Structure 1
Amino acid sequence: MKKGKRIAVIGGGASGFFGAINTKELMPDSEVTIFEKTNQVLTKVKVSGGGRCNVTHACFDPQELTQYYPRGEKELRGPFHQFMTYDTIEWFGKRGVELKTEEDGRMFPVNNQSRDIIDCFLKSCEENNIAIKLKSELNQIMPQEKGYRLSFTNGQELFFDVVLIASGGNAKLSAYHWINEMDLQIITPRPSLFTFNLPKHPITQLMGLSVDHAVVSLSHSNYESEGPLLITHWGMSGPAVLKLSSYAAIELNKRNYQFSYQVNWSGVEDHDSMEIILNQYKNDYPKRSIMKHKTINIPSRLWEYLVKVSISNPDCNWGDCSKKDLEQLATNLTEQSFIANGKTTFKEEFVSCGGVDNKEINFKRMECRKYPNLYFAGEVLNIDAVTGGFNFQAAWTTAYIAAKAIAEV
């Protein structure tokens, strides 16, 4: 691209800043401006990972990495060969932000502060003379013979040679009106990555209790996920629940977030196998208290709860348990049923599926197929991932590719 081009970046979030900084570094003579509709930038970066910022995930195989994206798996295969996890680590490392890997693969700044990422971006913008305009909500994009005229709700109209749209996801279809007016297809947005509400269910009395490995299955479907599960005062959370909410986001929306699901707490494959284990323990230790002697490795408080809801006399010994009692205990250990009534956003980290239809985009360049010099990056696209740093990695990747393509024109 020729020198002196004016480039607008719509959105002051992760993908917007990453795209703006990389564009300016690749094109030092260009004029890059970030427009953010609110009075704050990088708000999701700030709250991510409980305020630590889960920058990416320690997965270094592009093919494997795509498996974590319920929407965007196919489209991201090529982009991840252009900019991958190790590129993210190197990019931040060169700017003084070292990342560390935790046991579950999530990667954070070594100081455990999202502020490190925010300061890195703001410093890079200052050093590269990237302008940041707050309270600048875009109202309309008007294609010109060469470039675009942007109309903002504050009354401003400005011309730019190139536009990078990195406005993030949104729960409302109306938020995409200025994109839809360009005859670009929008997939109706729906929430993704949320916890399950169980109003007044007795299991919520175990709030704060976690299980290292549980299997959660959505009734009347093939959706299933596994991993750590956390019981909260409102229901259930943790990676197992969050992953299921992501993969089944569209189905759960269709059910209006009123749905039944099953939890296998036990680590044992099925009911029949569990029943064999319980009967064997009964035969071997008939005089032991069933409440005090568990047969599987789950938290004692959870075992006691399951015994109470399964056994007619929970204070009895193993030898006194009836066949019906053990059948019910086996059921609750391997396929306990729950009926969810609603959802709760996970730690203020709103993620949506839906957005600009991926068919509208050339993912080799992140450029709109219908409009030259109009680029897209991040969650404004119909791309979303499970929890663990994957959504940010998609933001870094798509924004970097867009910046590179802008600089090559």
Structure 2
Amino acid sequence: MNEIIVIGGGAAGFFAAINIAEQHPQANVTILEKAKQGLQKVKISGGGRCNVTHAEFIPQELVNNYPRGKKELLGPFHQFMTGDTIAWFESRGVALKIEDDGRMFPESNTSQTIIDCFLNEANKFGVNINYSCGVKSVKKEGSTWCIDTNAGVFTADKLVVATGSSVKIWEILKTLNHTIVKPVPSLFTFNVKDARITNIPGVVAQNVTVKVVNTNLESHGPLLVTHVGFSAPAILKLSAFGAVELAQMDYKFQIEINFIQQDFNGCLSSLKNLKQTLAKKTVFKFSQFDMPKRLWQQLVLAANIGDGTTWADLNKHQLEALAAQLTKAIFNVNGKSTFKEEFVTAGGVDLKEVNFKTFESKYHKNLYFAGEVLNIDAVTGGFNFQNAWTSAFIVAKNIM
């Protein structure tokens, strides 16, 4: 009988183990998990609802959500894609629903549904699960893998590493001559202290452009003012695609925000028209450009326009100052905060060292990788889980 060991009892590990056991009944499949229970990231994902995947069904479009892994995942997504994920869960009694922003969750609205599904499937196909089983070393003796743990030594014909962002396992993989790209945080919010946003947490500007000054980093989308700074997709995309660059800056940099999707000159022209058409109205009281009222008021004050000033009273300097606040407002970022419970890391096994047709190591036969142990990460919205399902399924398909 083939002995197959999966290191890591998270999303990718369970998905790999279940699919290996189902597709290859002659194999004896064992999960080694260092914690007292598995699937903890699944449990807290999506605010406890588990953001299983994202309703994007074209591989060429799906890969655009991966700052690292975009090129490598195109082929794998043609093998196992979002639709396959949906079908896999639905065939096991777990119906998924699509929310307005494209995120997909179990209809039950609880991650426990996904956990129960995995535990039931693992039991059904005879997967052995060893909790509190931390790996200390991995060696290859002939064609056999020897895994030393705090619960004894395990041996395997084939080994799957699905440990996510585990520094300890990355160190072990270095002893097997694999290169580890230095890990840095990938999904995070920006810490900003600024009088313009101090008193307006909870305000959302729907369609903004955010640039990191003196870089090519730029993103579009909703922007949320929080108690500590900025969040929402416009910021999270920047944090993901700029993960390495922003880490090199020690998370101290400037951003330029365009709140209204007009350039400075176009905005100035619009403001001059408003000066004519709204002459007797107070600038402060009536928000323009579909902006949230509280944000508009803060930007008006920042342009040195008093709360009683009418449009007719605005001088050239005030019009220009307001146009600048609306189209190229500069904010100083000083640090980052974790986005909800999403612990996503850029870094991991160098992608050049993996065969993406099978997810097997190019250096060691019968060593496979699944999920975030590789230098692959995505923006928020279920994309990191889709990488886990795809890589794990392809490992299961090719391991025998």
Common topology (TM > 0.5): yes
Q: Which of 209, 213, 225 is 1:215 aligned to?
A: 209
Paired residues of 1:214 and 1:228 also in contact (CA < 8 A): yes
Aligned match of 2:164 in 154, 164, 168? 168
Question: 2:82 matched to which residue of 1?
Answer: 85
1:196 equivalent in structure 2: 190
Secondary structure, in 3 states, of the residue corresponding to 2:65? coil
Note the aligned Cα RMSD (angstroms).
1.2
State the 1:177 CA deviation: 0.9
Matched residues in 1 for 2:193 and 2:277: separation?
40
Q: Within 2, Cα distance between the matches of 1:210 and 1:253?
A: 26
Number of residue pairs the alignment of both structures matches: 400
Which residue identity does 1:320 align to in structure 2?
D
Q: Does 1:317 align with 2:324?
A: no
Give yes or no for the alignment of 1:307 onto 2:300: yes
CA distance in 1, matches of 2:315, 2:37: 62
Match of 1:265 among 259, 267, 283: 259
Does the aligned pair in 2 maintain the 1:36–1:134 contact within 8 Å? yes
Q: What SS is found at the alignment partner of 2:104?
A: strand
Report matched runs for 1:336-375 at 5 Å: 336-375=329-368
Residue 141 of structure 1: aligned partner:
138
Match of 2:47 among 33, 39, 50: 50
Could you tell me whether the CA contact under 8 Å between 1:101 and 1:107 is conserved in 2? yes
CA drift at 1:282: 0.4
Q: Cα distance 1:286–1:216, how it changes in 2: closer, same or farther (>3 A)?
A: same
SS at match of 1:349: coil
CA distance in 2, matches of 1:377, 1:285: 60
Shift of 1:144: 1.8
1:256 equivalent to 2:236? Answer no
Q: What does the per-residue CA deviation read over 1:142-175, in whole Å, with 9 as the maximum and x for residues that have no partner? A: 11212200011x15111111110000024x5x55
Residue identity opposite 1:375 in structure 2:
Y
Q: Partners in 2 of 1:311 and 1:319 — Cα distance?
A: 15
Shift of 1:201: 4.7
How far apart in 2 are the matches of 1:159 and 1:103?
A: 47
Q: How is 1:98-113 mapped onto 2 (pairs within 5 angstroms)?
A: 98-113=95-110
- Alpha-carbon distance, 1:202 to partner: 4.5
* Contact 2:286 2:293 (8 Å CA) reproduced: no
Q: Deviations over 1:169-215 (max 9, x none)?
A: 24x5x551111111111100111010001146551321111122111
Aligned-partner SS, 2:216: coil
SS class of match (1:75):
helix
Distance 1:345 1:132 in 2: 31
State the 1:351 CA deviation. 0.3
C-alpha separation between the residues in 2 aligned to 1:395 and 1:65? 14
- Structure 2 residue matching 1:205: 3-state secondary structure: coil
**What residue number does 2:289 align with?**
296
* Shift of residue 27, structure 1, vs aligned partner: 1.1
Cα pair 2:163 2:169 within 8 Å, conserved: no
Partners of 1:74 and 1:393 in 2: how far apart?
15
1:28 to 22, 25, 35: 25
Q: Partners of 2:37 and 2:198 in 1: how far apart?
A: 36
- Are 1:185 and 1:356, in contact at CA under 8 Å, matched by a contact in 2? yes
Matches of 1:199 and 1:158, distance apart in 2: 52
- Deviation per residue, 1:198-244 (Å, 9 max, x gap): 14655132111112211111110111111111111011110110000
* CA offsets 1:235-279 (integer angstroms, 9 cap, x no match): 1110110000000001000000011101111132x1111111111
Point out the more displaced range, 16-25 or 106-115. Answer: 106-115
Does the aligned pair in 2 maintain the 1:72–1:383 contact within 8 Å? yes
**Counterpart contact for 1:147–1:373, Cα < 8 Å:** no
Instruction: Output the amino acid matched with 1:232.
Output: T
Task: Give per-residue Cα distances to partners, 1:110-138, cap 9 Å, x unaligned.
Answer: 12111111111111111112111112111
> Separation in 2 of the partners of 1:231 and 1:85?
32
Q: Percent identity of the aligned residues?
A: 48
Alignment match, 2:61: 64
Give the aligned residue type for 2:133. Answer: S
**1:29 to partner: Cα distance:** 2.5
Moved more, 364-373 or 39-48: 39-48
User: Which residue does the alignment assign to 1:120?
Assistant: 117
> 1:349 offset after TM fit, Å?
1.0
Question: Which amino acid is the alignment partner of residue 336 of structure 1?
Answer: A
Q: Where do 5+ consecutive residues of structure 1 fail to align? A: none
Runs of at least 5 residues in structure 2 that lack an aligned partner in the other structure: none
CA distance in 2, matches of 1:143, 1:26: 25
Amino acid at match of 1:250: V
What residue identity is the alignment partner of 2:86? I
Residues in 2 aligned to 1:246 and 1:51: alpha-carbon distance in whole angstroms: 22
**For residue 160 of structure 2, what is the amino acid of its counterpart?**
L
